[in-house]
Structure 1
Amino acid sequence: MFQTDIHYQGGPNAVLLLPGLCSTPLEMRYVAKALQRDGYTVSVPYIAGYGLGTPCTDWRAWIKAARAEYLKLKQTHATVSLCGLCIGATLCLAIAQEEPSVTSLSLLSVTLMYDGWTIPWYYPLIDFGYHTPLRHIYKYKETSPFGLKNESLRARIEKSMSQHAASEIGAAALPLPHLYHARRLASHVRRNLHRVTADCLVIHAVDDDTSSPHNARIVHEGVSSAHKQKYLLAESYHIVTMDNEREVVADETRRFFRDSIQRQHGGAAPEARIISKALLRANRQRGA
C-alpha cells in the first residue's frame, strides 16, 4: 500500500515530487493532486533503497535513481519542475546541481541538517555509530508530534505507527544507514549549492521540529538562482504537505511553477496569489 507510485497524467509541463527519507509517495499526495488540477503531469515515484521498507543503498544511488525519474519526464514533456519534502527536497537540489534544464524547484522543509527541537543531542554521533556494529542495530524511533501540528492527524498517524510500524508519512523508526547517507547527501548538496540556477521556492515552518529554518536560510542564500523566494509558515511543523497549511504549500508551489514557466517559456499570464482559509485565519488571529 505505502510503496505504490503516484502518477497523474496532465499537460506538457511535468512535476517530479520526492517524499522524505524512509517515507512514501502518499506523503506528497495533497500537493500532487493540486498540481494535477492545475494541468500538470505529476509523478511521485517510490525509490527502492531510499523509501519505506527496503534495505538502504547509498546517497549516490538515491541521486542516480531520482535523476533517472527526472530524465524520463524530460524526454516527453516541455518542462520539468521538482518538488521535494525534507531529504526529498535535498535530493531535488542534487538533481538541479547536475541538470541545468530543471525549470524550477519547490523545496519543502529542506533538510541539510537535523537540528529541530525534537532531535536528540546525540544525533551528530551517527557518523561514528555507522562505522561500528551499531549500524546493524540502531534505529531512530519517530515520536510525537511526528512532524505534525494538527492534533487529529497526529493521532491518526500515531495509531498507524503503533499498529503497522509505518504510516503514510513513513517508517516508525529510521535505520542508522539511512540517516548516515542522508548526512552524506546533505554535505554533498551544501558544498554545491552555488551550482543550482533553477528558479527556487523555499517553504519552511518557523517551528519545524525536525529541521530548523536555518536550513531554509542556507539554501536561499546559497543557490545561484536569479529568481528565488522564501516563505515561512506559522501553523505547521515539519510535514508541511499534510499539516495545517498544506493549502498554502500547494498554492504557493503551483503559483511559483506557473510564473516560472511563463517567465522562461511563455504561456498563460501569472495569476494572483491564492491565500488559503488557514492562512487567513492565522493572519486574523495575529492581527487580533
Structure 2
Amino acid sequence: MPVMPGAEAYHHAGGQIGVLLCHGFTGSPQSLRPWGEYLAAAGITVSLPRLPGHGTTWQEMSHTRWEDWYAELDKSLADLRGACAEVFVMGLSLGGCMALRLAEVHGDRISGLVIVNPSVTNDVPLLRLAPLLRFVIASVPGVAGDIKKEGATELGYPRTPVKAAATLPRLWALTQSELSKITQPVLVFHSPQDHVVKPASVRILREKLTGGNLNVVELADSYHVATLDNDADQIFAGSLEFIKTNASVPLQRD
C-alpha cells in the first residue's frame, strides 16, 4: 500500500540519548516530524515510526488494532535501546497513551515521558457502541486537523475506521489500570482548547500519578495537534530541557 507523501517514518542516528516519538490515532509521522528534526539537530537519536495502517488509507487501517500499533512502537523501542545508552519516549494524543503503556511495561528502561494532549479515556460516548456499530457502518467523520495556527495542516485521515476505533477502550482501560507503575518523570503539555481530547484525560493522570513525577504545562495558543500549532516551539524546547534535566548521560551533538 503506497504511503502518502510526507507520512513516511523518520529516523536519525545521533548520540547516546534516544527518543521514540509516537504519533496519534489516524494521524501520521508528519504531525511529529518537526519535533523529531528539532531533537535530531540537538544531537539526539530519533525514531519516529509509522504505525501500521496509518499514512495510507483509512480502509487499510480498519484491518489493524491497537495491539498492532503498540507492537510497532515496542519494536522501535527495542531498536533504540540497542543503539543508545538511554531512551525517552514522547507522543501526541493516542501516541501519548501508548507512551504511557510502554513506560508501564518497561519501567526504568525508559528514562522519562513527554506527552502532548494525551488520550487515556473515552471522550465519545458513541464509541461504547463501536463493537456493534462496526457491523453496520465502516467509518465516521475523522478527527484530524484540530489546529489553531493559520495555514498549518495535519496529514491524517478524513474518516475514522470504526473497526479500529472499537479496539481503543481496551487500551485505555489497560493503561489506566497500571498508571501507578509509572515512576519516571512525566511532562504533559495540555491545550485547554482541545476539540478532540477532553480534560478528563489529564485529570486522570493527576489523580493516578501522585508520586511527584508529573508536571503539566498548559498551551495557551494551540488546539489538539499542538506539535504543528502556535505553541510547537514551546513543546520542542521544553522536551529538550526535560532530557537535559533527566538524562544520566551527557547530550552529544553530531
Q: Which TM-score tier does this pair reach, normalised by the shorter chain?
A: 0.7 to 0.9
**Structure 1 position 254, deviation (Å):** 1.0
Q: What's the offset of the Cα at 1:52?
A: 4.7
CA distance change for structure 1 residues 61 and 151 in 2, over 3 Å: closer, same or farther? same
Please say if 1:32 is aligned against 2:33.
no
Aligned-partner residue type, residue 44 of structure 1: L
Structure 2: give runs of 5+ residues left out of the alignment.
Answer: none
What's 2:24 paired with? 20
List aligned pairs for 1:83-232, cutoff 5 A.
83-100=90-107, 101-113=109-121, 115=123, 123-134=124-135, 136-142=137-143, 146-153=145-152, 157=153, 168=155, 170-223=156-209, 226-232=212-218
Deviates more, 1:132-141 or 1:25-34: 132-141
- Cα deviation 1:203-254 (Å, max 9, x = unaligned): 1101111112331232133136553311011100000100011000111111
Counterpart Cα distance in 1 of 2:75 and 2:134: 33
Letter in 2 for 1:87: L
Is the contact between residue 49 and residue 72 of structure 2 (CA under 8 Å) also seen in structure 1?
Answer: no
C-alpha distance in 2 between matches for 1:37 and 1:185: 33
Q: In structure 2, do the counterparts of structure 1 residues 133 and 171 end up closer, same or farther at CA, with 3 Å as the change threshold?
A: closer
Q: 1:149 to 1:97 in 2, by over 3 A?
A: same
Larger relative contact order (C-alpha < 8 A, sep ≥ 6)?
2
* Paired residues of 1:129 and 1:135 also in contact (CA < 8 A): no
Shift of 1:192: 1.1
Which stretch shifts more, 206-215 or 80-89? 206-215
Give, in whole Å, the separation in 2 of the partners of 1:266 and 1:12: 8
Residue 245 (structure 2) aligns with: 259
- The worse-fitting range, judged by mean Cα deviation, of 210-219 and 98-107 is 210-219
Structure 2: how far apart are the matches of 1:47 and 1:141? 17
Q: Is the deviation greater in 79-88 or in 106-115?
A: 106-115
Q: Check whether the contact 2:16–2:249 (CA below 8 A) recurs between aligned residues.
A: no
Alpha-carbon distance in structure 2 between the residues aligned to 1:51 and 1:86: 16
Cα distance, 1:126 vs structure 2: 2.2
1:75 matched to 2:82? The reply is yes
Change (3 A) 1:202 1:134: same
For the structure 1 residues 135 and 249, does the alpha-carbon distance in structure 2 shift closer, same or farther, using more than 3 Å as the test?
A: farther
Match of 1:277 in 2: none
Segments of 5+ residues of structure 1 without an aligned counterpart are 116-122, 158-166, 269-288
Q: How many residues align?
A: 243
Change (3 A) 1:126 1:251: same
Give 1:132 shift: 4.2
Q: CA separation in 2, counterparts of 1:33 and 1:135?
A: 42
Which residue matches 2:73?
66
Superposition map of 1:32-51 within 5 A = 32-49=36-53
SS at match of 2:43: coil
Taking every aligned residue pair, what percent have the same amino acid on both sides? Answer: 23
- Cα deviation, residue 75, structure 1: 1.1
Q: Quick check: which has more Rg, 1 or 2? A: 1
Provide TM-score, normalisation by structure 2: 0.88
- Take 1:246 and 1:223, find their aligned partners in 2: how far apart are those partners? 25
